[in-house]
Structure 1
Amino acid sequence: MIQAGLGHYAIAIPALLLVLLASVEAIWPRRALVLGRSPRWRTHALFFVSNAVIGRLLSFLVVVGVAANWAEAHQFGALNLVALPFWLEAAIAFVILDFAVWFQHFWMHRSPYLWRMHAVHHSDRDLDVTTALRFHPFELIVSTFYKSAIVALLGAPLLVVLAFETWLNANALFNHSNIRLPRKLDRMLRLLLVTPDMHLVHHSTLVEEQKNNFGFALTLWDRCFGTYRTESILGAENQEIGLAEVHDARPAGFIWSMKQPIT
């Protein structure tokens, strides 16, 4: 019962944020869109539905919440080896899980096989809040097993895991959004969180810029490992988004995007 209630919040909060950010984008866009909202939004909605179905099927095998419950039931994982206050367990779990997500993203760009899946996300020629939904089902499967393994090895409590998933999804929606933040606010937020302008650099068509700013939430890891970049060499206004080899409207199509990793 408690898990179901928490799960509803984990869905409702990002959903409300998506609507809010999409509304702000319409009023104060950061950049003019190359391909526009439609059919991109339709394609991204289809990705969301496809991934929801696959996520449901994966739940019969393993999901992050199941991994947390299993670790707690069997007292498995690092955090179950010592007695710590809940707030400290939560803080440690958040930091380690955030690093795990950063490392996965980093490796997606290093492995040719993983990159073929992740390139679907990068092939979007615009960047807005719905781009955060644009992940190929192959990548969802890899991410689910990877994060479930990390959660089990860590022994993170279910409440913390669901809170982290909500936090991660909310941050992904925020930093993919096409909103214009005041420069001072952007600089302040970057001390801790990935901002839209910071993540914009990562979606550059220039490969050397794609290999920077891997964070989805905290900026800590990019700063520590030397992958932090303030701005594109072309500037935020002139930077091209997407893949250098794709200059047409194909990424706005769902079938083309789904076939991308195997073509």
Structure 2
Amino acid sequence: MAAFADWIAAHEILVRGAAFVTVFALMATWELRAPARALTLSRSLRWGNNIGLVVLNTVLLRLVFPAAAVGMAAWVAGEGWGVLNQVALPAWLAVVLAVVVLDFVIWLQHVMVHAIPALWRLHRVHHADLDFDLTTGARFHPLEILLSMLIKFAAIALLGPPVVAVVIFEVLLNATSMFNHGNVRLPGRVERVLRWFLVTPDMHRVHHSVEDDETNSNFGFSLPWWDRLFGTYRAQPRAGHTGMTIGIHGCTDPRQACWLTGLLALPFRGRISGYTINRRSWDPPEPENEP
């Protein structure tokens, strides 16, 4: 077990890269064969720009944080920092606890970027996608990616997780993000059971609704329990999964919502006067006046 964990930690880039390519290929095939919704824009347009943003973020992260989260975990372990380095636990239990706690940290971070208007400016790049598919799951502004890594560093320093746990967490986070953003639908019975243990595409699709109260729900990426525990869980969108509108209010121009240049500039456009976590109510639209 120890030798296997050491191998995974030593080959982190290879492990993460292989997992990403494998899950991407599987989800892309599933989407092409059995899409849940009809796409409104060209797949080549969206995929080209979304994946371009992923490449940009990957290069930027490796330039700014060459060792990334795994390197931070190795350094913290060497210094003996963090709660898990102060208590004697079986290796498997330390790994499981670390993965669960890190998942909660990411859930809390996700709530935070909705709750603070300045951070919502960055996060709306993710929500402005006019369609919902596996590439949406990796579409984040570079400044949010850097912020997320700093939050991971802080969590790792406080927690002191095993290095292998951080590798497993990063692989799971990437894989589940592509899965739960997939333009796919599971059989009803399977989906209802699975969403108790894993965030499903139907569960997360609600979070990408244009309606504020639906957007401010279902924040989980991997584990679905946090939303149920903290009251941010919503089972289904009002308009149904095929009738709901994806995106954010006031951002329907593909030049802003899809093109790479528009995505990079989006946080610096317009005013953000609300759309925070406390806006979880919904009022039906006023009926039009009859002639």
TM range (shorter): over 0.9
Alignment partner of 1:7 is 2:13: yes
Runs of at least 4 residues of structure 1 off by over 6 A? none
Partners of 1:21 and 1:129 within 8 A in 2: yes
Q: Structure 2, unaligned stretches of length 5 or more?
A: 1-5, 270-291
Aligned residue type for 2:81: F
- Which residue does the alignment assign to 1:54? 60
> Is the counterpart of residue 192 in structure 1 residue 191 in structure 2?
no
2:22 aligned partner: 16
8 A contact 2:73–2:156 mirrored in 1: yes
In structure 2, the residue matched to 1:240 is: 245
Shift of residue 92, structure 1, vs aligned partner: 1.0
CA distance, structure 2, for counterparts of residue 197 and residue 45 of structure 1: 23
Q: TM-score, normalised by structure 1?
A: 0.97
After TM superposition, the structure 1 = structure 2 runs for residues 85-96 of structure 1, keeping only pairs within 5 Å, are: 85-96=90-101
Q: Aligned letter for 2:101?
A: I
* Residues in 1 aligned to 2:205 and 2:57: alpha-carbon distance in whole angstroms: 24
1:187, distance to aligned residue in structure 2 (A): 0.4
Structure-1 residue corresponding to 2:211? 206
TM-align CA RMSD:
1.2
Alignment of 1:77-226 (within 5 A): 77-226=82-231
User: Which amino acid counterpart does residue 260 of structure 2 have in structure 1?
Assistant: F
Amino acid at match of 1:29: P
Distance in 2 of aligned mates of 1:138 and 1:59? 13
Choose from 43, 50, 53 the match for 2:49.
43
TM-superposition CA deviations, 1:174-229 (whole Å, max 9, x none)? 00000121111110110111000110000000011111000000110000000000
Give the superposition deviation at 1:247: 2.4
**Which deviates more from structure 2 when the two are superposed, residues 103-112 or residues 250-259?**
250-259
Equivalent residue number for residue 74 of structure 1 = 79
* 1:206-263 C-alpha deviation (Å, 9 max, x unpaired): 0111110000001100000000001111111100000121223221211111100112
Q: Which amino acid aligns with 1:100?
A: V
AA aligned to 2:33 is I
Letter paired with 2:209: S
Q: 1:261 aligns with which of 267, 284, 287?
A: 267
What TM-score does the superposition give when structure 2 sets the normalisation length? 0.88
| TM-aligned CA deviation for residue 127 of structure 1 | 0.4
Answer whether contact 1:70 1:152 (CA < 8 A) is retained: no
Pairing partner for 1:34 from 29, 40, 47: 40
